[in-house]
Chains A and B, each alone.
Chain A
Amino acid sequence: MADAKPVHHTLSVLVENKAGVLTRVAGLFARRGFNIYSLAVAPTDDERFSRITIVVDVESAPLEQVQKQLFKLINVVKITELAPDEAVERELMLVTVSAEPGTRGQVIELVQVFEGSIVDVGHDAVTVMLAGASDKLDDFEELMRAYGIVELQRTGRVALPKLERQAPRLRSVSGKVG
C-alpha cells in the first residue's frame, strides 16, 4: 500500500452543516463508482460548515470527474485538492497491543521511539495512541503486529494546505537586493 502512493488523493471538502450531507457525499461516491479510501468528518470553527476529508482512490475514476460531481451537490461549498507534498496530513491511531510482562518493555520502548503515548494499561495489554503521517502509522502497525494486535482503530486522514515558507517582507527585501 505504501508504495502505491499516486493512486490516493486527498480532497478537503467544505460542506454546509446540514442533515444528510454525509449521505449525499457517500451516496454520490457509491452511485458513480468512485472508491473512498478513507473519510473523516468534523465541524469547523464556523458552526454553519463541516469539513470532510476524503482520500480518494483515483484508479476508480479521474479525480477531475470526482471533484466536479462532488461540486454539483448543493451543500458542497468548496473543494480543495491537497497534493501530498503541498499538504500537512495527519492521522490518529488507537491500538491495543498484547504486552505480557516479558515483552511489555519492548512495546513501551517502541511507543517512545514513535512518540506515541500509552493511554490505557491492562493486565496483559496496553492501548497506545499515535498521531502522525499515515506511513508512520503504517510502520508502527507493522512493528506491533509481532507482539499481537488485539484491536486497532484509525481515524482516516485529516489535512490542511502547507503554509507559505517565506514571509512577505523577506521576499520584498530579497527583491531589492536582486
Chain B
Amino acid sequence: MELNGGQALIKSLEMEGVEVMFGLPGGAILPVYDPIIDSPIRHILVRHEQGAGHMAEGYAQATGRPGVAMVTSGPAATNIVTPLCDAYMDSVPIVVITGQVGTAAIGTDAFQECDTTGITMPVTKHNWLVTEAQDIPRVVREAFHVATTGRPGPVLIDVPKDITDPKNPRSAMEWYWPESVDLPGYKPTVRGHPRMIREAARLICQAERPIIYAGGGILKANATASLVELAELTGIHVVTTLMGRGGFPDGNPLCLGMPGMHGNYTAVTSMQRSDLLVTLGARFDDRVTGKVSAFAPDAKVIHVDIDPAELGKVRRPDVPIVGDVRLVIEELVKAVRELGGRGAQADRAAWDAQLADWQRRHPLVDEQPDDGSVLKPQFVIETLRDATPDDTIVVSGVGQHQMWASQYWRFDNPRTWINSGGLGTMGFGVPAAVGAKVGRPDRMVWAIDGDGCFQMTAQELVTAASERIPIKVAILNNAYLGMVRQWQELFYEERYSEVYLSPDLPNYAMWAEAMGCEGFRVDTADDVLPTIEKANSIDDRPVVIDFRVDYKEKVYPMVPAGGSNDDIILDPSMGQGGH
C-alpha cells in the first residue's frame, strides 16, 4: 500500500493505539493535519503550543499511557520546549511531533526554521529528525518504545515538510509496520539482582528505625499494591514525595505523608533519624534532602530505581538495585517472607512510639478564624477535599497553593495528584488538568491553581470550553506571587520586590465567563462550600472559582534552601520543634 508521509505518520499513531492528540497546525506540519480529518484519533486544538505539551503530560499522568502532542516548526517547536523539559524532569512519557522545513531548506535559515532536535536534545530522552518518508513508521515505533519503557520520558520526532507533502515525490512511501524495534544501545534492566534483593531483605529485617522513601517511580511502575503489601508485611512507615503522593494511600496508618522542604515534621524528621531508608523510585532531590551532607546521617540506604544513573548520583547506596520498582518490590516481599516475614522484623516498638509522638506533637496547623476577617487557603483546600469524590484528580501549578494542596489533600488512589515537581513550571495546572480530564472523563478533575500561575496559561480554558472538557479550577487568589513573597518576607527582610499582582486585575470571574466557563468569586468562609457544590453540579463546561485568600498566609513547615532538615521551621504558632 502506497501512502504519503503524512498519512503514514497518522497511521503509525493509530497503530500505537493513540486515541487523543493535542496540537495546533501551521505551515510545516500542514500535510500531517490533512489525514487527521479521516482518522479516528481525536485532535484537541489548543490555543498555545505550551498548552498542548502540558495537556499531553496531564493525559499521560492520569492514564499511564503516553500523551501525544503535534505542532509546527520554529516558534511552535520552541513553545513546546518547556513541557518537554517538564516531562523530562518528572519522567512523563510524551511523544511530541514537530513540523520542520523541507530537507533541502534545512540549514538555510528558512522561514519558521529552527534547530528543533538541537534545542530539545538536552530535554528529551531521545529525539529523531526523520529525513526519509520510508523511515516514519520505524521512527514512530521506536519513539513510543523509548518514551514508555525504562525510565519513562519525553521524546520528539521532527518531520520535514517534503517527506509528508503529497505534492512532493519525496513523500511517497510503501506502508509497513515494524514488528519490533532495533535499538542495540537501549535495553533497560527491569529485573532486580537476586543477591542484592536478598541483601536488602536482610537489612530491612534488621533495621530498628527504617523508613520507606517512596517516589514518583511507584506511580510510573503501577507499584501501589506491591508497596502496600511490603509496608504491611514489614510494618515500616512510608513517606511519599511530592511526585509520589497517592502512590501509597494517605489513609493507611503507615503513611507519614510528604517529606522535604515543605514536608510535615514527622515525615522530615523520621528520615533524618532513620537507620535505613528503603528508597523506592525516588531520586534524593534537593527539595527532599536539604543539605545533602546533613541528610539522614545514620541511615543505610537501599536504592531501587530503573535508571542506573540515579544510584549513587546524590547519595551512595549500601544496596543498589536497578530494576522496575514493582517487580523489585514483589521480589523483596518474597525475600522478606523467606526470612520469616513480620516475625523476623527487629523490635520497633520504640520507633513506632516515637513516630506517633511526633505526629501528635507536630501536626500541620491551620485555623480558619470564625470572625470571617480572612479566608485561609488551607480551609478552602480542606473544604474542597471533603466535598469531592475520593478519586477526584487534583492538578496544581507551582508555588504555595501546590504545597498546601499536597499537604492537605488526602490521596488514597494512585494517579490522583498531578503537578510539576522537578521543573516547577508555573502555568502547568490548567492545561494539565485539561489533559487529565480528556484521559479520565469519568473522574472529577479539579485544578488548584495560584493567581500567578493561572495568568500564564488560562487561555487553555477556551480550548476546554470549546471541546466540552469540564474541568474545575480553584484559584487561591492572594494577589501575590505568594511563594516568592514568602521568601522575601523570611529571607529578604520583608523587602517585597515585584511580587504584587492585584486581586482584581484581571477580574477572574469575568475572564472565565469570557472564555466560555462559569465564573464565581468567593470572599468569605461561609461561601466556600456552597460555591464548590455549585461547581460540582456543573458538568457541561469548565468552572472557575476565584477564592480571595489571606495574602499573609505562609507555607509551613519549611526547611530553608540549602539548610539541614534538622533546622525545620514550624508554624510560628507551634513554637520550635526541637528534638
Contacts and interface: CB of A to CB of B under 8 A. Distances in A.
Interface of A: 15-16, 19-20, 23-24, 27, 31, 62, 64-65, 68-69, 71-78
Interface in B184-203: 184-186
A23 B184 contact: no
A23 B118 contact: yes
A65 B312 contact: yes
B310 to A, nearest CB: 9
B309 A72 contact: yes
Contact of B308 (A20, A27, A71, A73): A71
Contacts of A71: 308-309
A77 B312 contact: no
A97 B320 CA distance: 54
A19 B186 CA distance: 17
Interface string B116-139: 011001100110010000000000
Contacts, number: 39
Interface in B144-199: 146, 183-186
B370 to A, nearest CB: 54
Contacts of B313: 65
A24 B185 contact: no
A65 B307 CA distance: 12
Given A27-B121, A74-B146, A16 B312 contact: no
Contacts of A15: 185
A31 B312 contact: no
A24 B126 CA distance: 10
Interface of B: 117-118, 121-122, 125-126, 129, 146, 183-186, 307-309, 311-313
A77 B311 CA distance: 20
18 contacts: A15-B185, A19-B129, A20-B117, A20-B121, A20-B129, A23-B121, A27-B122, A64-B312, A65-B313, A68-B309, A71-B308, A74-B146, A74-B185, A74-B186, A76-B185, A77-B184, A77-B185, A78-B185
Contact of A16 (B117, B125, B146, B184): B184
Top 6 A-B pairs ranked by shortest CB distance?
A68-B309, A77-B185, A74-B126, A74-B186, A76-B185, A77-B184
Contact of B121 (A24, A69, A77): A24
B308 A68 contact: yes
A33 to B, nearest CB: 13
A73 B309 contact: no
B233 to A, nearest CB: 32
Contacts of A68: 308-309, 311
A101 B122 CA distance: 55
Nearest to A75: B185
B434 to A, nearest CB: 31
Contacts of B186: 74
Contacts of A20: 117, 121, 129
A31 B186 CA distance: 21
A75 B185 CA distance: 5
A138 to B, nearest CB: 34
Contacts of A72: 307, 309
Contacts of B118: 23
A24 B123 CA distance: 11
A92 B185 CA distance: 30
Contacts of B129: 19-20
A64 B117 CA distance: 28
B185 A16 contact: yes
Contacts of B122: 27, 31
A42 B146 CA distance: 27
B121 A65 contact: no
Contacts of A23: 118, 121
Given A16-B184, A76-B185, A77-B184, 8 more contacts: A20-B117, A23-B118, A24-B121, A65-B312, A73-B126, A74-B183, A74-B185, A78-B185
A71 B311 CA distance: 14
A16 B126 CA distance: 14
A15 B122 CA distance: 18
Contacts of B121: 20, 23-24, 27
Nearest to B151: A72
Contacts of A64: 312
Nearest to B123: A31
A52 to B, nearest CB: 13
Q: Which of A31, A62, A72 lies at the interface centre, i.e. has the most chain B CB atoms within 10 A of its CB?
A: A72
B324 to A, nearest CB: 16
Nearest to B146: A74
B445 to A, nearest CB: 33
Residue among B129, B307, B308 with the highest chain A CB neighbour number at 10 A: B308
Contacts of B117: 20
